[in-house]
Amino acid sequence: MKGESRGYILETYDRHFELPDLGPIGANGLANARDFKYPKAAFKNKNEPWKMINKYQGKMFIADIDHSPFNVVAWHGNYSPFKYDLRLFNTINSVSFDHPDPSIFTVLTVKSADVGVALADFVIFPPRWMVAEQTFRPPYFHRNCMSEFMGLITGIYDGKSEGFQPGGGSLHSTMTPHGPDYETFSKASSVTLGPQKIEDTLAFMFETSLMMRVSKWGLYGDAEDAKTSEKADWVLQKDYYKVWEGFKGDFDGK
């Protein structure tokens, strides 16, 4: 691929990403080790200007060099870059009833010192079949002891009917209640639950037991505040809370 590209980055400062323990799932399922690809040894011996960019203690540093930094044939050590095609993820889901925990969609995890508590999880919601009966299928209303950053790569997320565009993101911090918007809730509450194929979508979630803070750039772009930024309306969705307007209490005590 040539030209400009955009994406999401998750950076951790402790431990490393690894495949999650499969437990009762067994040997096959979720992301398989065989599908991760590593580069072959190669080099580029060219004497031309390059810029070396290095991140150190949260700051970026640039150094000008007069040759290609890829003038090596291989590397030696325990680290190597890899890539993984998310379309190869083997989705595990319910075939009876109820809504399984999103951990069944975990691609990679960074374990913490506490057993069962992740420092960070990378979770995806790819195309898949939904066949569970007697079940509210979209993500239900909940709050977590984890912080959730959601992003949409393509298509429409099954928990939001509008307002959540590809390239965007949402952050629900620890113990912040959230769930589907009113339109999604109404449709899912009345639809006949036959087998349904969720297609043409790919959403992901960065989940962490730590608190996350939105940067000033993330809130206001290049401007210092929303008042001086023409981009503020798309950088920060100020009326996000309105997706939950329209809900009425229907609990009858039974």
Q: Predicted confidence band at 199 (pLDDT cuts at 50, 70, 90)?
A: very high
Average pLDDT score, the chain:
88
Residue 133 phi, psi (nearest 5): -105, 160
Single out the residue of 161, 177, 176 nearest to residue 243, CA to CA. 161
Q: Predicted confidence band at 183 (pLDDT cuts at 50, 70, 90)?
A: confident
Is 99 catalytic? The answer is yes
Q: How many distinct structural domains can be found in the chain?
A: 1
Single out the residue of 89, 115, 116 nearest to residue 204, CA to CA. 89
Is 76 catalytic? The answer is no
> Percentage of the chain with pLDDT > 90?
52
Question: Is 67 domain-assigned?
Answer: no
pLDDT of residue 233 exceeding 80? no
Counting beta carbons within 10 angstroms of the beta carbon of residue 84, is it exposed (0 to 12), middle (13 to 18) or buried (19 or more)? middle
Query: How far is residue 185 CA from its own chain's centroid?
Result: 22
Q: What's the pLDDT score for residue 240?
A: 82
Is 172 catalytic? The answer is yes
Question: Is 1 domain-assigned?
Answer: no
Q: Predicted confidence band at 63 (pLDDT cuts at 50, 70, 90)?
A: very high
Question: Which CATH number does the domain housing residue 99 bear?
Answer: 2.60.120.10
Q: Predicted confidence band at 231 (pLDDT cuts at 50, 70, 90)?
A: low
Residue 188 phi, psi (nearest 5): -70, -20
Question: Is 65 domain-assigned?
Answer: no
Do residues 181 and 244 make contact, with C-beta atoms less than 8 angstroms apart?
A: yes
pLDDT tens digit sequence for 91-139: 999 999 998 888 999 999 999 999 889 999 999 999 999 999 999 999 8
Counting beta carbons within 10 angstroms of the beta carbon of residue 32, is it exposed (0 to 12), middle (13 to 18) or buried (19 or more)? middle
pLDDT of residue 194 exceeding 70? yes
Which pair of tokens denotes residue 81?
A: 């870059």
Is 230 catalytic? The answer is no
Question: Is 5 domain-assigned?
Answer: no
Question: Is 110 domain-assigned?
Answer: yes
Question: Is 71 domain-assigned?
Answer: no
pLDDT tens digit sequence for 65-74: 999 988 888 7
Radius of gyration of the chain (CA): 22
Alpha carbon distance 165, 15 (integer Å):
32
Q: What single DSSP character describes residue 178?
A: B
pLDDT of residue 232 exceeding 70? no
Rounded mean pLDDT, 22-47: 91
Domain extent for 140: 23-38+84-236
Catalytic option among 18, 142, 162, 199: 142
Which pair of tokens denotes residue 73?
A: 């044939």
Q: Is 205 helix (H, G, I), strand (E, B) or coil?
A: strand
Do residues 30 and 107 make contact, with C-beta atoms less than 8 angstroms apart?
A: yes
**Among 1-10, 81-90, 100-109, 198-207, which stretch is predicted with the lowest mean pLDDT?**
1-10
Question: Is 131 domain-assigned?
Answer: yes
Q: What's the pLDDT score for residue 42?
A: 83
Rounded mean pLDDT, 179-191: 90
Rounded mean pLDDT, 42-59: 90
Q: What's the pLDDT score for residue 229?
A: 56
Single out the residue of 204, 202, 36, 201 nearest to residue 123, CA to CA. 204
- Tell me which of 160 and 148 has the higher pLDDT: 148
Q: What DSSP letter does each residue of 110-127 carry, written as one string?
A: EE-SSTT-EEEEEEEE-S
Alpha carbon distance 110, 250 (integer Å):
41
**Among 5-14, 17-26, 229-238, which stretch is predicted with the lowest mean pLDDT?**
229-238
Question: Is 63 domain-assigned?
Answer: no
